[in-house]
Structure 1
């Protein structure tokens, strides 16, 4: 019997019906062959059924294994599902393609993605039935989705959806997975997907409408009605009532009394002044909003009293992490929507309307790493100060890099300007080259020998994590230590390397260097040119940190009207002074910075490739799949 319905357990897959010439027993009773006794009823779970099957022979064993397989899916007992399927592998009466798909499902659910992908690649040439083809594509997509690769997941999801539509198959759970993946795409990515079959276009247009009209109940309702008239009986239709309802709940925060907590005393007072300037600039354009500045260094009781006395309905701050921790136990703060101006020490957020916004350097380290992988660089070299922050950023880069590459990055920590040259020479193995030259010269003392040092050839990109002064010292050392015989190694740096104040008068020795930076700090990178001009007139001598905090404060106010929507749609972005802002998860604001390059003593904006990389296990599985495909051909 071929069952045309594929049902999935909790958004995954509960399974195809077994295609077999044998008669299956129920999940709770098994009649023994040649038994003269009245049958007894055993209520067994999947593991129990599997264990019992392994003690039997012939058809009874097969029937029990089928029951164990189905029960394992219902119970989400993936290990038992794998064992039952492996035991069925040798049976001639089993649908082996279907059985292998079950094994791939089990291994995928146990996070053994490499083994799951290997099976799916070997099955590519054996998929004859539409049911198998749809299930195969769904599993491929779900593995990509598990690795936060929604664009690659959707390619397979849409193939699965098209097969299901053509053959009247129902894949419960697939629609939710498609919708979840679509919400992680930017508006630009959605435009790229708005093609292909009617099924695909219907899904993508619905996601585009949601991004455009989310929070605007009337407009969204009208757009949804138009969509429904165009895409009659589309599988996404079930989403419409839910999305319209949620849109009302996601109406932007309406703030009439805004409290801003910042340091107004102590060693961080200067930072508080810089933030205050940004808040004042941003709130000038928000009518009918009262703003209350509160010193975040006050006691929790004093802060709560001021919040209640002024009947505050939204909070921004504090800045210092210690003060965030102080207030997170406050019931008053817990009741108010809040944007903290720093990250939290722990990774979970128990309050859904609390958000975390910081100038997190880890974000730009990840951004650089993604670009290196998109450029197919194999061996990066990192240069960082031997400090807590330098070690932390190098560790973060390295841990992320290992997800996508088996190559070990070269790392050099310098303590001061004096040992920079030594560290670079050692990493590039220039000293070894010099020693070889000396050896040859000693052998041919009476002969004039022309020589030039050579640096190692495997380093293909260098990433500097030092500040602006350190970068200006490191760059010349790198220039003179890289062999003239070797291709020029591209140089990159983080925003720590850039200083707007220093660069006004000194861009020497940095030609060719790429770096990430928030738009506010770069020339001609911010759309609001009037704001930048006014700032320059009012604060011409402010330090880089104060300029960055001004932009952060300005963006924090701008986020108030957008933050609900950003939290709902991971692919939605707000173009801010500090970068393109989005929320990937856990209510943490993620920043995507601008790329810039020093060129002929000028700074120019550049667009660099940031295509999401494939995890290492997927790269290996794809290579195996290609080998298998070539052998089949």
Structure 2
């Protein structure tokens, strides 16, 4: 990305940068009349800076300015920082602009903490519109680098307003504003559709693209209306490129759908559950032909059936090793495909291949975001001492370290027998019991009333066990938390929930929060008719089979939406398995519903999931709050 920078060099130095690039003459040529002629070498940013170090006075300043401007053009951020730091001591330098350049260099080198610190100290010194606009742009770009598009847009819109009012151009601002807008959901866009004319113009354009993407005529009409309303808007440049591409994003035309699932071997039962979901979804595809292929067959057999049936879209395989097995298939490579698992290490990037899995890591991330929104400081994780349990704990811990210096407490249990011991050790209840014994031994003839105390710093507990384990863990937690301490909120993943087990008494889980796909939750109005029909046909199916049914149903429904989901990261599809979106790498991301055990019932609730600030931004935000008081 080449940056067009507004030059703010002032005074007589403003015209000196051009001549400084021809200082060093080293090459000699001979002309026709045998006269020697010296041809100057043009130095790059680093060369100009190195030469400046050996000079003094005005000549040195000339070279530093030239090095600074060349570094921006070359994107040599280290040299830009060095040149700006060398200029810091010069009285004639525009120090605000120079500081903005240092912040730019450090931002581009991912030194976000220092960049943010510089920008914060400059906020009271910004007098010129150019300075104000660049300051807002750089603030927004730092937030955008941390995947915080809503916070980034607050600053991008301010920069865009300044540019529009003062006839300025800030390099890359429009591209980054558009990129951030495309990451927002329709709900978030609605909330941004206010404020200045510039802000409303940006937001409405993003809304129109989401609503009319792939519709052709309707999209053109919406864009024509937008152009008439927002004349000379900075987003106008987007229309020829983005909208033309959007018109071409019509849904896949699927006439013959091939579905790869396990129809033999140990996973045959899972394949049967998927097949039920595919057949149920096919009622919404009356004009399409669906045929099933056993993914356990050889590549040659699978490719032959795809060719014989003239498939134009594929769903599957389910098993990850079969995705890897087919990764080199030339037949499958040219067909749009929704794989029913995560991307394998061997999978080559293919814009028409997508990956849809019931990924537990998405739930862990969703819970973590909520914990941070609630400002919990010290979570405790309880998980089975297994590969999957350790993987989820590690994933949570890695993400948590980005936002908090306090590491979570982790308890891994091997079986039901040592659950109580693991919990007691983590909550330091055994230490309290030992202290009680010591006091009782000193006062043997005195009746002493005592009660164990647990540690006070744990403020939330997250259970990553299955339904049976969760029902054993919660009573242990209830009896080991001190009655003197505030009640610690309990959360769990969808592994803790079972429709079949929950038909009995739920009182042991009172108050527990958990994430779950909408299809599995009782008393939900969405798809109630389909759920009733399902229970009539398969009343005894296990939880995993019910979840796979919903996954298969959603996979078919996604065919008509998936191009648009891949194009706009903020676009969502409401499915049986959750709110589905594609953020990157053609991987479908799920956001589940929150539910709670309440008065022996299960109720769905909305919990705060505001995107958290990375650790390096938190101190800056705290300082800003103090300054405002």
Q: Distance in 2 between matches of 1:462 and 1:174?
A: 42
Q: Distance in 1 between matches of 2:367 and 2:347?
A: 26
Correspondent of 1:18 among 9, 34, 46: 9
Q: Is the 8 A contact 1:252 1:564 kept in 2?
A: yes
Task: Mark the CA change 1:386 to 1:66 in structure 2 (over 3 Å): closer, same or farther.
Answer: same
Matched, 1:29 2:52: no
Matched, 1:418 2:417: yes
User: Is 162-171 or 510-519 further displaced after alignment?
Assistant: 162-171
RMSD between superposed Cα atoms in Å: 1.6
| Residue 85 of structure 1: aligned partner | 84
Task: Mark the CA change 1:314 to 1:82 in structure 2 (over 3 Å): closer, same or farther.
Answer: same
Matched, 1:161 2:160: yes
Task: Mark the CA change 1:236 to 1:293 in structure 2 (over 3 Å): closer, same or farther.
Answer: same
SS in structure 2 of the partner of residue 492 of structure 1: strand
Task: Mark the CA change 1:31 to 1:421 in structure 2 (over 3 Å): closer, same or farther.
Answer: closer
Q: Is the 8 A contact 1:318 1:341 kept in 2?
A: yes
Task: Mark the CA change 1:348 to 1:81 in structure 2 (over 3 Å): closer, same or farther.
Answer: farther
User: Is 22-31 or 40-49 further displaced after alignment?
Assistant: 22-31
- Structure 1 residue 165 displacement after superposition: 0.9
| Residue 208 of structure 1: aligned partner | 207
Q: Distance in 2 between matches of 1:384 and 1:516?
A: 16
Gaps of 5+ in 2: 26-35
SS in structure 2 of the partner of residue 21 of structure 1: helix
| Residue 558 of structure 2: aligned partner | 559
| Residue 4 of structure 1: aligned partner | none
Matched, 1:230 2:248: no
Correspondences of 1:95-114 after superposition (within 5 Å) = 95-114=94-113
Q: Is the 8 A contact 1:579 1:593 kept in 2?
A: yes
The Cα offsets for residues 265-296 of structure 1, whole Å up to 9 and x where unpaired, read as: 00000000000000000011112100010000
Q: Distance in 2 between matches of 1:414 and 1:211?
A: 47
SS in structure 2 of the partner of residue 258 of structure 1: strand
Q: Is the 8 A contact 2:324 2:346 kept in 1?
A: no
Q: Is the 8 A contact 1:30 1:39 kept in 2?
A: no
- Structure 1 residue 240 displacement after superposition: 1.6
- Structure 1 residue 30 displacement after superposition: 2.7
Q: Distance in 1 between matches of 2:249 and 2:390?
A: 40
| Residue 29 of structure 2: aligned partner | none
Matched, 1:307 2:306: yes
Q: Is the 8 A contact 1:412 1:427 kept in 2?
A: yes
Q: Is the 8 A contact 1:217 1:244 kept in 2?
A: no
The Cα offsets for residues 85-133 of structure 1, whole Å up to 9 and x where unpaired, read as: 0000000010000000000000000000000000000000000000000
| Residue 370 of structure 1: aligned partner | 369
| Residue 248 of structure 1: aligned partner | 247
| Residue 454 of structure 1: aligned partner | 453
SS in structure 2 of the partner of residue 597 of structure 1: strand
Q: Is the 8 A contact 1:595 1:608 kept in 2?
A: yes
Correspondences of 1:393-542 after superposition (within 5 Å) = 393-525=392-524, 527-542=526-541
- Structure 1 residue 445 displacement after superposition: 1.0
- Structure 1 residue 344 displacement after superposition: 1.7
- Structure 1 residue 625 displacement after superposition: 4.9
Q: Distance in 2 between matches of 1:130 and 1:512?
A: 54
Q: Distance in 2 between matches of 1:504 and 1:97?
A: 67
Q: Is the 8 A contact 2:278 2:552 kept in 1?
A: yes
Q: Is the 8 A contact 1:104 1:119 kept in 2?
A: yes
Q: Distance in 2 between matches of 1:185 and 1:286?
A: 30
- Structure 1 residue 39 displacement after superposition: 8.2
Correspondences of 1:247-286 after superposition (within 5 Å) = 247-286=246-285
| Residue 3 of structure 1: aligned partner | none
Q: Distance in 1 between matches of 2:242 and 2:548?
A: 36
Q: Is the 8 A contact 1:275 1:552 kept in 2?
A: yes
| Residue 391 of structure 2: aligned partner | 392
Q: Is the 8 A contact 1:15 1:70 kept in 2?
A: no
The Cα offsets for residues 128-149 of structure 1, whole Å up to 9 and x where unpaired, read as: 0000000000000000001100
Task: Mark the CA change 1:221 to 1:168 in structure 2 (over 3 Å): closer, same or farther.
Answer: same
| Residue 132 of structure 2: aligned partner | 133
Q: How many residues align?
A: 617
SS in structure 2 of the partner of residue 311 of structure 1: coil
Q: Distance in 1 between matches of 2:423 and 2:542?
A: 30
- Structure 1 residue 20 displacement after superposition: 4.0
- Structure 1 residue 44 displacement after superposition: 1.2
User: Is 17-26 or 167-176 further displaced after alignment?
Assistant: 17-26
SS in structure 2 of the partner of residue 108 of structure 1: helix
Matched, 1:569 2:568: yes
Q: Is the 8 A contact 1:20 1:95 kept in 2?
A: no
SS in structure 2 of the partner of residue 378 of structure 1: coil
Q: Is the 8 A contact 1:261 1:315 kept in 2?
A: yes
The Cα offsets for residues 486-528 of structure 1, whole Å up to 9 and x where unpaired, read as: 0000000000000010001131310000000000000123511
| Residue 28 of structure 2: aligned partner | none
Q: Is the 8 A contact 1:30 1:64 kept in 2?
A: no
Task: Mark the CA change 1:607 to 1:54 in structure 2 (over 3 Å): closer, same or farther.
Answer: same
Gaps of 5+ in 1: 1-8
The Cα offsets for residues 419-465 of structure 1, whole Å up to 9 and x where unpaired, read as: 00000000000000000111111111111111100000000000000
| Residue 121 of structure 2: aligned partner | 122
Q: Is the 8 A contact 1:349 1:586 kept in 2?
A: no
The Cα offsets for residues 366-415 of structure 1, whole Å up to 9 and x where unpaired, read as: 00000000000000000000000000000000000000111110000000
Q: Distance in 2 between matches of 1:179 and 1:155?
A: 13
Q: Distance in 2 between matches of 1:331 and 1:347?
A: 14
Q: Is the 8 A contact 1:315 1:336 kept in 2?
A: yes
Task: Mark the CA change 1:347 to 1:144 in structure 2 (over 3 Å): closer, same or farther.
Answer: farther
Q: Is the 8 A contact 2:595 2:605 kept in 1?
A: yes
Q: Is the 8 A contact 2:8 2:97 kept in 1?
A: no
SS in structure 1 of the partner of residue 482 of structure 2: coil
Q: Is the 8 A contact 2:489 2:512 kept in 1?
A: yes
- Structure 1 residue 18 displacement after superposition: 2.1
- Structure 1 residue 13 displacement after superposition: 5.2
